Amino acid sequence: MAEQTPEANHSEEAGMGGYLERITNSLADLDADADIGAMVEEALRAGEKAVNILRAMSEGMVEVGKRFERGEYYLADLVLAGEEMKEGLKVLEPHLEAGEVGKRGTVVLCTVKGDIHDIGKNLVGTMLKSAGFRVIDLGVDVPAERVVEAVRSESAFAVGLSVLLTTMTGSIGEVVEALRGAGLRDGVKVAIGGACTTPEMVERYGVDALGRDAVEAVRIFSEWAA
């Protein structure tokens, strides 16, 4: 076999970097023609490390968040980026070493009992995964007891509760009381989010934070994990 020249090695490295740059830019630019899953597969076949691909995807989502905060993107754009990220993670996760996705800790997510809306919750979960968290998504219409079970069995350091219906906000208090009754409240942070949530609810139900959107939610959990 012919020995590779330094120029060849440099070309290969540039190509590898090119895969990562394409993935980051496609996510950041909401490229409708891009297939993130296929791009991840291509990068893996080219020999790129899975952790580097994850980092490239995360950088793309960070840029999406920045553009959202500047008013350049809207909620629909966040949802679109989140769906693209999920497709990429679906391909990538089997290639990641244990702990690479969950290295920043475990978060339990759910939509509270009596509420079946999940778009916001799903987006937060996807963005938390991209930020390095292990996410246990319990789904929708989740009773307080299941949250307690998940926090205990998964050693979660934080809980995210989503609620869209004003009539169901009392379920937030039920989760907090259940965690307290189980002796877990002091060791776990609780954040709420959803269209009907307000700063007043943070005090009323004894939670730790309110995230108004997925970008703010990731910032909150990141601060708690620091």
181, two tokens: 């009754």
Locus of tokens 């740059």: 21
Res 180 pLDDT > 50: yes
**Mean predicted confidence (pLDDT) in 115-127:** 90
Mean residue pLDDT across the chain: 88
Distance in angstroms (rounded) separating the CA atoms of residues 180 and 88: 38
Measured over the CA atoms of residue 135, residue 65, residue 56 and residue 39, the dihedral's sign is positive
pLDDT the model gives residue 215: 87
Res 9 pLDDT > 70: no
**Mean predicted confidence (pLDDT) in 18-43:** 93
Q: How confident is the model at residue 149 (pLDDT cuts 50, 70, 90)?
A: very high
Measured over the CA atoms of residue 164, residue 211, residue 102 and residue 130, the dihedral's sign is positive
Q: Pick left, alpha or beta for residue 83 (phi over 0 → left; psi -120 to 50 → alpha; otherwise beta).
A: alpha
pLDDT the model gives residue 11: 36
Domain boundaries along the sequence of the chain:
6-95, 106-225
CATH class of 6-95: mainly alpha
Three-state DSSP at 136 gives: strand
pLDDT digits (tens, 9 = 90+) for 213-222: 888 999 999 9
Res 128 pLDDT > 80: yes
| pTM of the complete model beyond 0.85 | no
CATH class of 106-225: alpha beta
pLDDT the model gives residue 209: 98
pLDDT the model gives residue 4: 44
Q: Across the chain, which distance is largest between two alpha carbons, in Å? A: 71
CA distances from 21 to 36, 80, 151, 180 (A): 12, 19, 37, 46
pLDDT digits (tens, 9 = 90+) for 72-103: 999 889 889 988 988 998 898 888 765 566 67
